[in-house]
Amino acid sequence: MEDLYVIKIGGNIIDDEIALFSFLKKFAAIPARKILVHGGGKMATRLAEKMGIPQQLVDGRRLTDEETLKILTMVYAGYINKNIVARLQSLQCNAMGICGADGNSILAHKRVSTNVDYGFAGDIDYVHAEWLGALLHQGLTIVMAPITHDGANQLLNTNADTIAQEIAKAMSNSFDVRLIYSFEKAGVLLDVDDEKSVIASINPLYFEELKESKKIFAGMIPKLDNAFAAIDHGVKKVIIGKAEDLGNLLTGKAGTTISHE
């Protein structure tokens, strides 16, 4: 099977024009099929503040009311998505920017929670792998915004890390998939303030030890949960590391590698 790289880029990189362009140059040069899943950065929050729309977070997750959803859709699936596509085109990487509603690519449902009403936040039910594969085989690079839909005229705000994981899992039936979470840290750190404390590899047993001893930053745990879920469903390799070091992440020479071994 052909190689496919599913790469998620974090919001902090999107907020830094120089870092983003540097990353996209390396991404465009990958000589394989590729899908880029992007977050939203701080632009949506800044726009909401200017418009007087209060923003609430619970355990790091945004509560998405109707007005916030409009802003997220405009910013994520609009400006940020198309800005990335335009930059990739300038690098001779023929890209198509989409969200989950396009081509029915990602179906989701409104999150159900007994404790918190997350509003129009979506949890994924289905990824249209055949359609995404058809785009890839036409030589297109896919740029996916973190907006999905429920098939009944409702857009939903969906976590970009989860989108990357679900796409990687769905595509693993047709491709040898490598999933890379690229963000501002060098990898999973034993000490969040020490970039040199990167854990080179984590297996399920070690992950449980790290959680029990609270040696890893709590915000990293959902990323690792997503990583192990991907490995459990056929993804060949998951690597977490610094976006600026993408070249070495691709070869496993940097970052943290997630595996069963």
* Residue 202 predicted with pLDDT over 80: yes
Supply the pTM of this predicted model. 0.94
Contact 40, 11 (CB under 8 A): yes
Phi, psi of 191 (to 5 degrees): -125, 110
User: What does the alpha-carbon distance between residue 88 and residue 61 come to, in Å, rounded to a whole number?
Assistant: 29
Please calculate the CA angle 217-21-166 and round it to the nearest 5 degrees.
50
What CATH number has the domain bearing residue 141?
3.40.1160.10
User: What does the alpha-carbon distance between residue 101 and residue 219 come to, in Å, rounded to a whole number?
Assistant: 28
* Residue 213 predicted with pLDDT over 90: no
Q: For 58-82, how does the pLDDT look when each residue is reduced to its tens digit (9 = 90+)?
A: 776 788 999 999 999 999 999 999 9
169 is written with which tokens?
A: 């899992």
Contact 255, 186 (CB under 8 A): yes
Q: What is the number of structural domains in the chain? A: 1
98: nearest Cα among 136, 46, 57, 62: 136
Average pLDDT over residues 13-19: 90
Q: Which domain holds residue 249?
A: 3-258
First to last CA, the chain: 23
Contact 61, 118 (CB under 8 A): yes
* DSSP symbols for 64-99: B-HHHHHHHIIIIIIIIHHHHHHHHHHTT--EEEE-
Average pLDDT over residues 232-261: 89
Q: Within 10 Å of residue 154's Cβ, how many Cβ atoms?
A: 15
User: What does the alpha-carbon distance between residue 181 and residue 187 come to, in Å, rounded to a whole number?
Assistant: 9
The radius of gyration computed from the CA coordinates of the chain, to the nearest angstrom, equals 17
Please calculate the CA angle 23-106-225 and round it to the nearest 5 degrees.
65
Q: What is the mean pLDDT of the chain?
A: 92
